[in-house]
Amino acid sequence: MTCDFKETTKIKVLLEMRPALEGFAGIPQEVRLLFRGLCKIDAIEIEGMIQTSHRVLAKGTKDGGYFWKNTTQSRKINRYSRVIISLAEQPHRNIIDLILDWIERRMASTKLLVFTLSGLNKVRLTRFESDTFEDFTWRTFFSKTLPASDFQLVSKANHRICSIPWNQMHTVGLNSLNVSTSPIYPRLDTKGFDVFIGQTPYPARVDPGTAFVIRYHDAIPVFMPHTIPEKSKHQATHFYALMSNVNSGAWFACVSEATRQDLLRIFPEAESRAVTIHNMVSQHYFKDDTSSRRVLEIIRARLYETSGFLPNFFSLREKENFYKRSLHVSQFRYLLMVSTIEPRKNHTRLLAAWEVVKADIDPGLKIVIVGTLGWDISSTTSAFKPWIDRGELFMLNAVPAPDLRVLYRHAAATVCPSLGEGFDFSGVESMASGGITVASDIPVHREVYEDAAEYFDPYSTMSLVKALEKVLYIPGAQLTQEAMRNRGEKVASRYLPEKLLPQWEKFLQRVVRENVK
């Protein structure tokens, strides 16, 4: 390939947006922040790729060709509108469409596998122009993380549609192992883009003219498969897609050096193509003077209302009286944990340590858990239930960042007890909000939080108890907290967009240069 790339030319980037369809935190949050950040780099022209895990999406418009050049604006708008509908349900179809769709669905996986193995076809991407559909793009992909001031920046960006579901592409790769010793995944038609950025191992190959970048978050499905959902399938899809990415010459932008080292333990041959660029932390997290009374309002408004996560009340009056007693106290002291509820996050270790502190040191201390329900949670939620019924433990869900900032700021401490992580936003968000962070002593926490957190053995309840005693209760604890807040402010500042975007720009320029040699 002729080397004709010039650094004065804008780099055309296609960024996978599928995780942004999901929750508030973790990878979905990082995708939104990365898209926003790349929008702010003058040397980059970015589009998102819209794809779902399971749903077949309606097609957008195509580039070029007599038909599309002469298609009326009204028909184009109808195509884009149908794409939006297809994210939730099937658009209206006539009888011919229904018959063709039925045939296509029955043959889709087999056809895709045959085309993939034969190399006869590519997964075509169609266009989605955001002009006049800004409300959709904003509320669907960005509003859970970004402030309203970013509306104009991100909502007008155009997107490409991958109609084939992500899981179907994974299935093709796994089925190819029946006839091949190495997985073979479909090829995306990324022609015209300098870089494609996929999130986690991505189940595809890209056009030779496109540099392939994987935003690699963690190797948990390989090294801790006992902690993941759908264990067999999840481990296989992660490992074999990762193998394919490595064999395809993909670059890896790892969210931490700990994650990069895990990647190289599996595939040492990727070392020259793997770099560390830490996650960005949202600008929602900063120190402010919001009253601690706001904490009580947030808890009451964001309680998990699902059956089993609230006490059993006989009437609305009983419910209101219960929360008046439990929340309206002169000094509401609490430990905070922000994480999906699943085995790797180690909620039960925090609960056990809190019970010791509550019994021996601080009877008024409560606990606030923020996070969605994950998998294999029965033992955790069973341990929570007696304390929920007594108004001592509060489970919250769908807490927006401005409210979470208040919870971080006024918590006695934010505890990050996880057994394994790729980055772990919550500790840095706590520091940025002026809070105290107590974290499990695992490599990624030491790397990301440095000397701004108090560490404990994640397998030892008493180790966490001693860490909490040191930070909150022993003589001189106030001085310890002040020092931790000062160090935390400095550490958190390292993950601001203005610190990390130059690394992204330099990295993307490098991969494009290498790809055109």
Indicate whether 2 pLDDT > 60: no
Q: Kindly report, residue by residue over 389-398, the tens digit of the pLDDT.
A: 888 999 999 8
Whole-angstrom distance, CA of residue 174 vs CA of residue 180: 10
Strand 413-416 with 334-338, pairing: parallel
Q: Kindly report, residue by residue over 276-312, the tens digit of the pLDDT.
A: 999 999 988 999 888 888 999 999 889 887 766 778 7
The mean per-residue pLDDT over the stretch 110-129 comes to 75
Contact 222, 159 (CB under 8 A): no
Q: Tokens 């706001």 identify what position?
A: 294
Whole-angstrom distance, CA of residue 244 vs CA of residue 250: 9
Q: 151 phi and psi, to 5 degrees? A: -55, -55
Q: What is the pLDDT of residue 336?
A: 98
Q: CA angle, corner 116, sides to 14 and 240, nearest 5?
A: 75
Whole-angstrom distance, CA of residue 4 vs CA of residue 143: 39
Average pLDDT value over all residues in the chain: 90
Angle at which helices 257-266 and 231-247 cross, to 10°: 90
In one letter, which amino acid is 429? E
Interior/surface letters 291-326, b for 16+ CB within 10 angstroms, e for the rest: eeeebbebbbebbbeeeebbeeeeeeeeeeebbeeb
- In the sheet that holds 393-396, the strands lie side by side as 393-396, 366-370, 334-338, 413-416, 437-440, 454-456
Indicate whether 451 pLDDT > 60: yes
Q: What is the pLDDT of residue 109?
A: 57
Q: What is the pLDDT of residue 114?
A: 63
- Kindly report which listed range (102-116, 130-144, 356-370) carries the lowest average pLDDT score: 102-116
Whole-angstrom distance, CA of residue 161 vs CA of residue 16: 10
Q: Kindly report, residue by residue over 154-190, the tens digit of the pLDDT.
A: 999 999 999 999 999 999 899 888 888 889 899 999 9
Coil vs helix vs strand at 198: strand
- Kindly report which listed range (10-19, 23-32, 484-493, 502-511) carries the lowest average pLDDT score: 23-32
- Kindly report which listed range (6-15, 174-183, 251-260, 454-463) carries the lowest average pLDDT score: 6-15
Q: How confident is the model at residue 449 (pLDDT cuts 50, 70, 90)?
A: very high
Indicate whether 437 pLDDT > 50: yes
Q: How confident is the model at residue 70 (pLDDT cuts 50, 70, 90)?
A: low
Which residues in 119-260 belong to E strands, given as ranges? 126-128, 159-161, 195-199, 211-216, 251-254
Q: What is the pLDDT of residue 1?
A: 35
- Kindly report which listed range (115-129, 174-188, 234-248, 501-515) carries the lowest average pLDDT score: 115-129
Whole-angstrom distance, CA of residue 97 vs CA of residue 103: 10
Among 16, 101, 100, residue whose Cα is nearest residue 57: 101
Its pTM stands at: 0.89
H or E element in which residue 231 lies? helix 231-247
The mean per-residue pLDDT over the stretch 316-321 comes to 84
More confident residue, 215 or 303: 215
The mean per-residue pLDDT over the stretch 435-458 comes to 98
